[in-house]
């Protein structure tokens, strides 16, 4: 999700740090966080405190949306954490295609953190942070409904809890329809292999599959790409705005 520097020796669990995390940067990030909490400015001023990485991510979502704007199908995030991406895509949809009432925005997560970490050598603290509170889906639905109301939108959201190896096949069986975008953000080898092979038949021509985590740090993602020859079958493309985000267009 973020840019990380993984310093590790073989057999050790990697320690993750932000890639460009100098002491000065760390202090500045802390200062912005403290000021934003202390000042309690109105919600109209978030950009006083938002760092570049998050703005780059927003640009990346717009880049993706512009590719799929004429491609029919749902927007699916695999590994959604708090569901922030669903809200961003709904708002980008409201700007770019306000009269497209056919998009569904589907978020898959355990909403309980990682079940397995194959090829993702990260520490337990990092893993624990992805567990959200038990009633999070209720709160997320309230947030999504508020955005729909502001946008006078008819978007349909599905927030699906459970291990994706159970929930994705069940969802596809019950909702047999094309997919325009799969935003894959779990980074373990097993879930990537499973997700890619399960959803590929549903992705429309011109649709996109995103690897949120790409780089030498993500051994599981690299292993999957090489083993399955994904880099030979498709052109893998770096985001214009965020180089550790890579995607392919289904042709």
Of 177-206, binders to ligand SAM (CB under 6 A) are: 185-186, 191
Q: Are 212 and 1 in contact (CB under 8 A)?
A: yes
Contacts (Cβ under 8 Å, ≥6 apart) of 151: 90, 91, 94, 98
State how far the Cα of 5 lies from the Cα of 8, in Å rounded to an integer: 10
User: Could you say whether residue 90 binds ligand SAM (CB under 6 A)?
Assistant: no
Binding to ligand SAM (CB under 6 A) within 130-169 occurs at 130, 163-164
Q: Is there binding between residue 208 and ligand SAM (CB under 6 A)?
A: no
Q: Are strands 246-249 and 156-161 parallel, antiparallel or unpaired?
A: unpaired
Q: Does 80 bind ligand SAM (CB under 6 A)?
A: yes
CA–CA distance, 237 with 222 (Å, rounded to integer): 14
Q: Is 105 in the site for ligand SAM (CB under 6 A)?
A: no
Segment near ligand SAM (CB under 6 A); pick from 38-46, 72-80, 97-105, 195-203: 72-80
End-to-end CA distance of the chain: 27
Minimal CB distance residue for ligand SAM: 79
Q: Is 113 in the site for ligand SAM (CB under 6 A)?
A: yes
Please report, as ranges, the residues that interact with ligand SAM according to CB under 6 A. Answer: 1, 77, 79-81, 84-85, 108-110, 113-115, 130, 163-164, 185-186, 191
């Amino acid at each position: 999700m973020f840019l990380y520097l993984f310093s590790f020796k073989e057999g050790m669990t990697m320690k993750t740090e932000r890639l460009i995390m100098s002491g000065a940067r760390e202090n500045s990030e802390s200062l912005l966080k403290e000021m934003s909490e202390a000042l309690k400015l109105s919600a109209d001023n978030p950009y006083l405190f938002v760092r570049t990485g998050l703005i780059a991510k927003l640009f990346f979502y717009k880049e993706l949306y512009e590719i799929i704007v004429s491609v029919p199908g749902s927007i699916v995030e695999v590994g959604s954490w708090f569901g922030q991406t669903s809200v961003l895509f709904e708002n980008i949809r409201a700007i770019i295609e306000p009269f497209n009432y056919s998009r569904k925005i589907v978020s898959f997560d355990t909403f309980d953190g990682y079940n397995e970490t194959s090829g993702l050598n990260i520490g337990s603290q990092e893993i624990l942070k992805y567990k959200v509170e038990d009633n999070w889906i209720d709160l997320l639905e309230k947030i999504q409904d508020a955005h729909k109301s502001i946008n006078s939108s008819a978007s349909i959201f599905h927030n699906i809890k459970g291990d994706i190896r159970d929930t994705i096949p069940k969802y596809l069986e019950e909702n047999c329809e094309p997919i325009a975008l799969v935003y894959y953000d779990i980074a373990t080898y097993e879930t990537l292999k499973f997700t890619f092979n399960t959803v590929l038949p549903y992705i429309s021509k011109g649709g996109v599959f995103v690897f949120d985590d790409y780089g030498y740090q993500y051994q599981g993602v690299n292993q999957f790409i090489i083993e399955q020859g994904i880099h030979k079958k498709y052109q893998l493309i770096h985001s214009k705005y965020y180089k550790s985000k890579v995607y392919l267009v289904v042709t």
